[in-house]
Amino acid sequence: MNRDLKDVRENYQKAELVETEVADNPFVQFSNWFDDYKKLNKPDFNAMILGTVGEDGFPHTRVVLLKEIRNSEFVFFTNYNSDKGKHIDKNPRVSLLFFWPEREQQVRICGTAAKIPPQESTDYFHSRPIASQIGAITSPQSQIISSRAFLEEVFQENLKKFESLSNIPRPNNWGGFAIKPESFEFWQGRSSRLHDRIKYTKNNEGNWGSVRLAP
């Protein structure tokens, strides 16, 4: 298969990222950009690409939804027995990536993931629509299954089993991970490919500092 996309190019010129205007704290900078992007009402504006490292040595990436930032940690929910869950068990170092093309912006985060307290997962689980709760119970996420029909059959069985319960029990293998960032990089597209990149890391005293990177 061949496909030639060499003629496709954007000229980025919507905004700039300058040292005098970025926030001292990367969480404030993230909030500023995130709130601005949220205003555009794009579907899945809270989507982020989670990168984990597998035992095969490959980085594995997939989209998950940011559900909360609390205690300066980024929270998403998943099946703990999924591939990503197993990767994190072995190696909690992960990456997050937000790409907001309408703003010509990208945010990269490296951090460490840990399971959130079970009660927080349970509270969120019960806040979801019943069909989503049963879907989570039904899906052996990342495992090979025989067919679509198998999945739908098990869903219907679970629906019958749990529908009448006022509180569907959260499976122990489903819950949240919280990612504690160790670095942030904010990228703003600029003209002539001279993009702005500001990277934040913590110094030895635990205070955030930032540097400019070449594009």
Ligand X SMILES: Cc1cc2nc3c(=O)[nH]c(=O)nc-3n(C[C@H](O)[C@H](O)[C@H](O)COP(=O)(O)O)c2cc1C
List of residues contacting ligand X (CB under 6 A): 44, 47, 60, 62-65, 76-78, 82-84, 141-142
Given 62, 70, 193, 212, the catalytic residue: 193
**Which tokens in the block code for residue 172?**
């122990």
Question: Between 82 and 138, whose beta carbon lies closer to ligand X?
Answer: 82
- Cα separation, 76 vs 72, in Å, equals 13
CA distances for 107 relative to 79, 196, 200, angstroms: 25, 12, 11
- Cα separation, 122 vs 82, in Å, equals 18
Question: Between 19 and 123, whose beta carbon lies closer to ligand X?
Answer: 123
- Mark whether 128 is an active-site residue: no
Helix (H, G, I), strand (E, B) or coil at 22: coil
Question: Between 86 and 199, whose beta carbon lies closer to ligand X?
Answer: 86
Of 153, 146, 172, which is closest to residue 81 (Cα–Cα)?
172
CB of 1 to ligand X, least distance (A): 23
The 8-class DSSP code of residue 168 comes to P
Question: Between 88 and 198, whose beta carbon lies closer to ligand X?
Answer: 88
CB of 54 to ligand X, least distance (A): 9
Buried b (16+ CB within 10 A) or exposed e, 100-116: beebbbbbbbbbebebb
- Cα separation, 136 vs 80, in Å, equals 11
CB of 68 to ligand X, least distance (A): 12
CB of 174 to ligand X, least distance (A): 9
- 176: burial class by Cβ within 10 Å (0-12, 13-18, 19+)? buried
CB of 184 to ligand X, least distance (A): 21
Instruction: Confirm if 133 and 123 have CB atoms less than 8 A apart.
Output: no
Question: Between 120 and 199, whose beta carbon lies closer to ligand X?
Answer: 120
Q: Which residues are catalytic?
A: 193
